[in-house]
């Protein structure tokens, strides 16, 4: 085929309205209008809010409802635990969305969604109407699935620190207060959970801190999975090479009981573990509002979506993006993927509001860096294209992959990745 598609489109006059001079920026803008409400301002929600404004040239009204006053990034938060970054480094204002992009910010929590009336109800009692709703609630923890664990315990003593914020600060304090010779136990749930390599990165960063400050201490990784679920070879090597005698990995550790008074966890197989810092990351499901709104229709935990539009398979005009979605094959629950899904959703929503068909060939990709110490990092990457036959995203064979080894150069890229994705999401 010798004729390039764009040239053909120009010949055919399809893009005549936009024309060659005005370029891409104005192409989507023609006569799109409507009101979109976004619930949740994490990587997914903030990105969709920004891109809906950007790609409509401000012609679509976007309201973002978020309960937290600032965005706090889970990526890089393990470096706060190790004392190598501060909370300020991972805390970002929502002002950019409001001031630069004209997103209307509403501080609050959504208590109900009325898909018939196209309205969300806030805990404050207010209602907000929408033409299209985007639900980006992230994950909630299934505390009750671990015998002996409660929400209260998980927020005060047996921390998860799996949502960056006050828990990150609290777990850092637990690590600082721990005696030399203490045991830090990190309990990992079965996949799928938010950020598959995250717990292993945490083990590295905590071990790095202990190695330099409390060298007689240990990090026990108690993994409910059959094996390390991400970057296995790379993590196993660094635990053996750099953290020998500090990090110990145990697989298939299903928690059968937890005694908060003694900081002890019991498993169906293997010895109970008494830890000085007990970090239990509970199993997860789509965030609370997804359940309240009846959007959970996969395994009683996740929200099924049409991958061309990210529209819920349970409710019309309601889109679900980010960690709350029932994942396509080999699609990780990551901030990067949430940011990517948000753009597919933004593109589709603008077309739907304009009464046009949606992009039939969406692409998303994932990049996830993990630090092995404050300087060295590794990555895993994948590219996912839409498979029309199977109506889902599939990874492109031959693309993506892992680092060969941890390097300082990738440590620098990991930091640059964070800065750029924060800006792409919020600035």
Partner 1 sequence: MVARSLALLVSLAAVSVTAAAADPNLARDLAATCASCHGTNGKSVGGMEPLDGEKKQKIIDKINEYKSGAKPATIMHQIAKGYTDQQIELVADYFSQQK
Residues numbered 299-338 forming contacts with partner 1, rule: CB under 8 A: 336
Is the Cβ of residue 3 or residue 31 nearer to partner 1 in the bound state? 3
State in angstroms the smallest separation of the CB of 70 from partner 1.
18
> Positive or negative, the Cα torsion across 327, 51, 71, 414?
positive
Question: Alpha-carbon distance 376 to 82, whole Å?
Answer: 14
User: Which is it for strands 91-92 and 71-72: parallel, antiparallel or unpaired?
Assistant: antiparallel
Is the Cβ of residue 9 or residue 112 nearer to partner 1 in the bound state? 9
In order of 42, 365, 377, the CA distances from 337 in angstroms are 12, 7, 19
In order of 38, 40, 114, 136, 300, the CA distances from 297 in angstroms are 20, 20, 17, 16, 6
Among 36, 35, 34, 43, residue whose Cα is nearest residue 136: 43
State in angstroms the smallest separation of the CB of 190 from partner 1.
28
> Positive or negative, the Cα torsion across 313, 318, 319, 320?
negative
Please, which residues bridge with residue 65 across strands?
Answer: 39, 106
Among 102, 84, 376, residue whose Cα is nearest residue 231: 376
State in angstroms the smallest separation of the CB of 335 from partner 1.
9
State in angstroms the smallest separation of the CB of 115 from partner 1.
26
Is the Cβ of residue 1 or residue 31 nearer to partner 1 in the bound state? 1
Is the Cβ of residue 183 or residue 427 nearer to partner 1 in the bound state? 427
Region of 112-120, 122-130, 202-210, 410-418 interacting with partner 1 (CB under 8 A): 410-418
The only residue of 51, 141, 371, 393 in contact with partner 1, by rule CB under 8 A? 51
Residues numbered 333-372 forming contacts with partner 1, rule: CB under 8 A: 336, 339-340, 343-344, 347, 351, 357-365, 367
Region of 15-23, 70-78, 182-190, 259-267 interacting with partner 1 (CB under 8 A): 15-23
Look at residue 288 and give its three-state secondary structure.
helix
State in angstroms the smallest separation of the CB of 204 from partner 1.
19
Region of 10-18, 77-85, 173-181, 216-224 interacting with partner 1 (CB under 8 A): 10-18
For every residue of 50-89, DSSP letters joined together read HHHHHHTTT-EEEEEEESSSSEE-STTHHHHHTTSS-HHH
Q: Which two tokens stand for residue 180?
A: 């030399």
The number of residues in the chain equals 427
State in angstroms the smallest separation of the CB of 50 from partner 1.
8
Is the Cβ of residue 217 or residue 382 nearer to partner 1 in the bound state? 382
State in angstroms the smallest separation of the CB of 299 from partner 1.
28
Give 280's contacts (C-beta < 8 A, 6+ positions apart). Answer: 146, 149, 154, 158, 159, 160, 187, 255, 258, 265
The 131-150 contact track toward partner 1, x by CB under 8 A, reads: --------------------
State in angstroms the smallest separation of the CB of 312 from partner 1.
21
Q: Any contact of residue 412 with partner 1 (CB under 8 A)? A: yes
Cα 246 to the center of its chain, rounded Å? 29
Strand order in the sheet with 305-306: 104-107, 60-66, 34-39, 132-135, 318-320, 311-312, 305-306
User: Residue numbers of the site for partner 1 (CB under 8 A)?
Assistant: 1-6, 8-9, 11-12, 14-15, 18, 23-24, 27-28, 50-51, 54-55, 336, 339-340, 343-344, 347, 351, 357-365, 367, 379, 381-383, 385, 396, 398-401, 403, 407, 409-410, 412-413, 415-417, 419-421, 423-424, 427
């Amino acid at each position: 085929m010798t004729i390039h598609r764009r040239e053909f489109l120009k010949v055919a006059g399809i893009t005549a309205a936009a024309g060659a001079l005005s370029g891409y920026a104005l192409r989507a803008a023609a006569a799109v209008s409507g009101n979109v409400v976004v619930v949740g301002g994490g990587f997914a929600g903030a990105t969709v809010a920004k891109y809906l404004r950007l790609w409509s040239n401000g012609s679509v009204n976007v309201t973002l409802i978020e309960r937290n006053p600032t965005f706090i990034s889970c990526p890089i938060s393990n470096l706060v635990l190790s004392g190598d970054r501060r909370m300020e480094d991972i805390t970002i204002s929502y002002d950019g969305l409001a001031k630069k992009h004209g997103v209307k910010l509403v501080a609050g929590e959504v208590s109900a969604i009325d898909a018939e009336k196209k309205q969300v109800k806030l805990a404050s009692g207010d209602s907000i109407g929408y033409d299209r709703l985007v639900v980006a609630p992230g994950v909630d923890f299934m505390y009750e699935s671990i015998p002996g664990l409660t929400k209260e315990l998980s927020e005060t003593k047996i921390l998860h620190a799996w949502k960056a914020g006050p828990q990150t600060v609290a777990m850092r304090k637990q690590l600082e207060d721990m005696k030399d010779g203490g045991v830090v136990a990190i309990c990992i749930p079965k996949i799928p959970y938010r950020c598959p390599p995250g717990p292993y990165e945490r083990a590295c960063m905590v071990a790095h801190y202990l190695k330099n400050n409390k060298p007689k201490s240990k990090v026990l990784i108690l993994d409910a999975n059959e094996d390390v679920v991400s970057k296995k070879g790379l993590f196993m090597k660094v635990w053996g090479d750099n953290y020998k005698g500090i990090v110990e990995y145990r697989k298939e550790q299903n928690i059968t009981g937890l005694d908060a008074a003694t900081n002890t966890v019991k498993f169906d197989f293997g010895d109970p573990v008494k830890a000085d810092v007990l970090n239990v990351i509970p199993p997860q499901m789509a965030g609370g509002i997804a359940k309240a709104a009846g959007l959970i229709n996969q395994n009683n935990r996740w929200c099924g979506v049409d991958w061309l539009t990210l529209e819920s398979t349970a409710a019309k005009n309601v889109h679900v993006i980010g960690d709350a979605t029932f994942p396509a094959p080999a699609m990780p629950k990551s901030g990067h993927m949430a940011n990517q899904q948000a753009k597919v959703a933004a593109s589709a929503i603008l077309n739907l509001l304009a009464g046009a068909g949606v992009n039939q060939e969406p692409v998303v990709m994932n990049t996830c860096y993990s630090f092995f110490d404050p300087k060295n990092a590794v990555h895993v990457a994948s590219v996912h294209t839409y498979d029309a036959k199977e109506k889902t995203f599939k990874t492109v064979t031959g693309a993506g992959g892992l680092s060969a080894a941890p390097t300082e150069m990738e440590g620098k890229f990991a930091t640059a990745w964070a800065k750029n994705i924060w800006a792409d999401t919020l600035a």
